[in-house]
Amino acid sequence: MRRLRLLAFFAAILVLSTLIGDHFSGLESRPSPARSVFPSDASEGTSENLHARLEFDWLRLHDPATGRIPKGIAGRELAFAQHLVQQTDLQSVSDDGAWISRGPSTIGGRTRAMAIDVTNEDVILAGGVSSGMFMSTDGGSSWTKTTAPNQLHSVTSVVQNRTAGKENFWYYGTGDRAPFGLSTSAEGLLGTTSVYRGDGIFKSVDGGSTWHQLEATISGTPDHTDAFDFVWKLATFGEGGVLAATASGVFKSTDGGESWTQPFDLGDNENSPSTEVAVASDGSFYVTISGDGPENGIYRSADGDTWENISPVDWPEATVKTVIGVAPSKPNSVYFFTHVASLQQQLWKYEVGVGWTDLTGGLPFNAQMTTYGGSMLNYLRQTG
């Protein structure tokens, strides 16, 4: 009986030794199925599993087909990486000019700004609210993008200095938002929001080929709407004069945009969502302010500092946007096309010394068109 007990004891010792040996020798080929090893536990092992680091390395490096870590794996990895560097020249891939545009080529986006060079009608500058500034030197047959990748591409207005000897000076404004009453993503001044938020005015001194941002118009605070974050319209006058119609009011510069004054300060007035400026060939200034606030109306000035409200007696109490068209050959005749409400527009003609003429009755579709103003005014310029 004593002999049987001794044989059973030694058999148990043998089985236990075999199991312990299999556990340690098996770390190279498989991890323990009873443990879950994560990188955070594996740097030096854990109190529950002293071999966690070994198991983690095995999980990362073993060959699934053999269950073992291949011999010389580190040296083979380095050799493979060196082969990739020699085989692929990434710099030449981006510079060899072999890139082909794959589209989409049928979607042009929304172009809010366009101007023809007064010195060469084959030179056209155009800008989109999300695509930047483009230039054509062959009448529109081909185009080159002139805004740099690190510059704002939310173009809303472009204008050229027409003074002799200053024609190489161009300006474009930035910032486009949803029309009055609509909203998108980030809160700001006037309760406005926009996917295409701007930050100031850009200037070119080489005919629109390159651009730089005017320091006096930069806020650098994309989380809040500042004075030049939404520039609706630009106009130039004299050698260095610039007018900027923004969501905060109208600004004036006489030194090419280096400094500004604000003859119209709308502040936080959320009732004035849109402004517009124009300069007639005789040097007189015109401004329109939209919304349903007290500033809503049409203004005229001889110097850009002192303004007179010249709105018609029966001007709408609220407007969405009013654009201005000045006849170059007749600076005393100015046209105002306003978007009053959904599917409702008005057209007015102002003559200095004469007064107002309501031309709304001549508009097509009983002045109930799906237009925001600008495109229809261009039509009227061409046909009227």
Pair (136, 40) in one structural domain: no
Domain assignment present for residue 97? The answer is: no
- Give the domain CATH number at 267: 2.130.10.10
Strand order in the sheet with 111-116: 111-116, 124-128, 132-136, 144-145
Pair (273, 328) in one structural domain: yes
User: Nearest 10 degrees: CA dihedral of 212, 157, 241, 118?
Assistant: 100
Domain assignment present for residue 75? The answer is: yes
Pair (154, 78) in one structural domain: no
Query: Among 60, 82, 104, where does a domain finish?
Result: 82
Query: Among 82, 103, 135, where does a domain finish?
Result: 82
- Secondary structure (DSSP) of 237-262: ETTTEEEEEETTEEEEESSTTSS-EE
For the chain, the 3-state helix, strand and coil shares in percent, each to the nearest 5, are 20, 30, 50
Domain assignment present for residue 354? The answer is: yes
Q: What value does the mean pLDDT of the chain take?
A: 78
Q: Residues of 222-258 as b/e, b for ≥16 C-beta within 10 angstroms?
A: eeebbbbbbbbbbbbbeebbbbbbbbbbbbbbbebbe
> What's phi and psi for 327, nearest 5 deg?
-70, 115
Pair (70, 205) in one structural domain: no
Domain assignment present for residue 100? The answer is: no
Pair (24, 160) in one structural domain: no
- The CA–CA distances, whole Å, from 124 to 74, 160, 212, 381 equal 60, 11, 19, 19
Domain assignment present for residue 179? The answer is: yes
Non-local CB neighbours of 113 within 8 Å, separated by 6+ positions: 125, 126, 127, 128, 133, 155, 156, 157, 158, 172, 173
Q: Does 54 or 255 have the greater pLDDT score?
A: 255
pLDDT at 189: 41
Pair (216, 67) in one structural domain: no
**Least confidently predicted of 53-57, 119-123, 241-245:** 53-57
The per-type count for the chain, helices as H runs and strands as E runs, is 6, 20
The 8-class DSSP code of residue 267 comes to: T
Pair (249, 303) in one structural domain: yes
Task: Tell me the one-letter amino acid at 298.
Answer: I
How far is residue 308's CA from residue 284's CA, in Å, rounded to a whole number? 12
Domain assignment present for residue 91? The answer is: no
Non-local CB neighbours of 157 within 8 Å, separated by 6+ positions: 112, 113, 127, 172, 173, 231, 232, 233, 234
Pair (308, 182) in one structural domain: yes
Domain assignment present for residue 155? The answer is: yes
Task: Tell me the one-letter amino acid at 216.
Answer: A
Residue 259 belongs to what domain range? Answer: 112-383
Q: Please report how many Cα atoms fall inside a 13 Å half-sphere around the Cα of residue 191, on the Cβ side.
A: 10
pLDDT tens digits, residue range 114-164? 999 999 999 999 998 888 999 999 999 899 999 998 898 899 999 999 999
- Nearest CA-CA partner of 217 in 233, 235, 231: 231
Angle at 316 between CA 312 and CA 319, to 5 degrees: 120
| Cβ atoms of 70 and 82 closer than 8 Å | no
Please count the structural domains in the chain. 2
Domain assignment present for residue 35? The answer is: yes
Report the 10 Å Cβ neighbour count for 18.
10
How far is residue 159's CA from residue 241's CA, in Å, rounded to a whole number? 12
Which residue is associated with the tokens 């300006």? 171
Pair (263, 310) in one structural domain: yes
| Cβ atoms of 27 and 53 closer than 8 Å | no
- The CA–CA distances, whole Å, from 298 to 232, 322, 325, 335, 384 equal 16, 9, 13, 11, 22
Flag whether pLDDT at 9 surpasses 70: no
Q: Average pLDDT of 326-355? A: 91
Share of the chain above pLDDT 90, in %: 42
How far is residue 325's CA from residue 329's CA, in Å, rounded to a whole number? 12
How far is residue 360's CA from residue 345's CA, in Å, rounded to a whole number? 8
Flag whether pLDDT at 373 surpasses 60: no
pLDDT tens digits, residue range 93-119? 555 666 776 655 555 567 889 999 999
pLDDT at 13: 53
How far is residue 4's CA from residue 2's CA, in Å, rounded to a whole number? 5
Pair (58, 118) in one structural domain: no
Pair (224, 328) in one structural domain: yes
Pair (171, 47) in one structural domain: no
Flag whether pLDDT at 44 surpasses 70: no
